[in-house]
Amino acid sequence: MVSSNGNGSVPTGWAQDRVYIFDTTLRDGEQSPGFGLDGEAKLLFAKQLEQLGVDVIEAGFPISSPGDFEACRTIAREVRGPMITALARAVNADIEAVWGAIGEAERPQIHIVLSASDIHIQRKLGLTRSEVIRRGVNAVQFARSLCAEVEYSPEDAGRADPDYLVETVEAMLDAGATAINIPDTTGYCLPNEFGGLIEYVVSNVRHPERAIFSVHCHNDLGLATANTMAGIMGGARRVECTVNGIGERAGNTSLEEIVMLLKVRQGMLGLEHAIDTTQIVPTSRMLTDLTGVGVQPNKAIVGANAFAHASGIHQDGVLKDRLNYEIMKPEDVGLADNRIVLTARSGRHAFRHRLKMLGLTVPEDRMQEAWAGFLRLADARKEVTDADLRTLMA
């Protein structure tokens, strides 16, 4: 089972044995270079996220531009099912903009962010620790006067003093925050550090059950998914992530990686989610179509090679039994099947299998000749296509 403390921290109405998926593709993901979307595209993608089954959609940053304000408002009006949230700094104008944009949602939430690390407090804000807490408390209290659901994110919590972080979280809970998100904003933490930090905060604040605890990890050192899982094991029960892992700098925790981790290792973790995993690949492809930015071929779950096999040893194993090399089914994520890719590294088993699939019959006494021809062709190009095989066999 999960975590050394064994328990998540969730308020009444939230399931203890479930991880809630907070998708920030349309905010943190969309604000990164090369991924900008207009209002129409954001609405289209939000509706796909609804179909995917995410629990929370972060629609944008309304104060940033009139266009983003309108996009958030349209999503709040037209998307039903998921909670709709948007980001505000800890100032009244931002909070009012968020409420104006998402107030008509079926389940609105105001999301407030304010720094927590000494690096940010001193070098970014020029304030003291106590001044930051006062500003955060005032922001949460004002947001709660407008909306029943308020999330507070102590930015750069991964580099914050743990005891000050506990003090901050406790103050925000007292002020009325209903969700506490602990972000590793710079992707700095190691998994054991981050998991320990979440467990420390949850264990040391008074009445942690007043809010659901969430995590938001960046991928600067390639540890976003590992840190997120460590946060879950430390007691978090909500995960902030993006489709295809897009986001600032090296990106955010990848939604598809976390969801499939929970599915594939459910027996070990004992945690559920509400995602329709067959919509993962369609959602990923919609995002690449809308942004014009592709996914690297070796990307976990949704990359072109995630269920492709080119090595002869692997092809032979998969053709005998998928479990030899596939820990999940391609159908589970919305793909029709895996791919056996014919290259110079392929084996005879894969070659014969593809010929059979194409209805090409080769007499046994000619098979060695056909195989030798295939190898000559494969050495000359990256991949041998079905059309190449038909020409060769002719």
The reported pLDDT for the residue numbered 5 is 45
The reported pLDDT for the residue numbered 7 is 60
Q: Is the per-residue pLDDT at 11 higher than 90?
A: no
Beta-bridge partners for 57: 23, 84
**Which of 236, 103, 225 has the alpha carbon at shortest distance from 169?**
236
CA–CA separation, 231 and 198 (whole Å) = 6
How crowded is residue 107: how many other Cβ atoms within 10 Å of its Cβ? Answer: 16
Whole-model pTM above 0.75? yes
Spell out the CATH class of 20-291.
Answer: alpha beta
DSSP characters for 228-244?
A: HHHHHHTT--EEEEBGG
Q: Where are the alpha helices (DSSP H) in 84-148?
A: 92-102, 118-120, 129-146
How crowded is residue 264: how many other Cβ atoms within 10 Å of its Cβ? Answer: 13
H-helix or E-strand containing 83? strand 83-89
pLDDT, one tens digit per residue, over 338-393 is 888 899 889 899 999 889 988 998 888 889 999 999 999 989 988 898 898 999 88
Compute, in degrees rounded to 10, the torsion defined by CA atoms 345, 350, 355, 359.
-150
CA–CA separation, 375 and 244 (whole Å) = 36
Strands 83-89 and 56-58, how do they pair? parallel
pLDDT, one tens digit per residue, over 157-170 is 999 999 999 999 99
* Residue 8: band (very low, low, confident or very high) from pLDDT cuts 50, 70, 90: low
pLDDT, one tens digit per residue, over 123-162 is 999 999 999 999 999 999 999 999 999 999 999 999 999 9
The reported pLDDT for the residue numbered 322 is 86
pLDDT, one tens digit per residue, over 68-99 is 999 999 999 999 999 999 999 999 999 999 99
**Which of 195, 189, 276 has the alpha carbon at shortest distance from 229?**
195
Task: Give me the residue spans of the domains in the chain.
Answer: 20-291, 310-393
SS3 248: coil
Phi and psi at residue 204, in whole multiples of 5°?
A: -110, -15
Burial pattern 350-370, b for ≥16 Cβ within 10 A else e, equals: bbbbbbeeeebebeeeeeeeb
* Residue 9: band (very low, low, confident or very high) from pLDDT cuts 50, 70, 90: low
Q: Is the per-residue pLDDT at 4 higher than 80?
A: no
- Tell me which residue has tokens 């996220």: 49
SS3 138: helix
CA–CA separation, 184 and 113 (whole Å) = 13
Residue 241 · residue 225 · CB < 8 Å: no
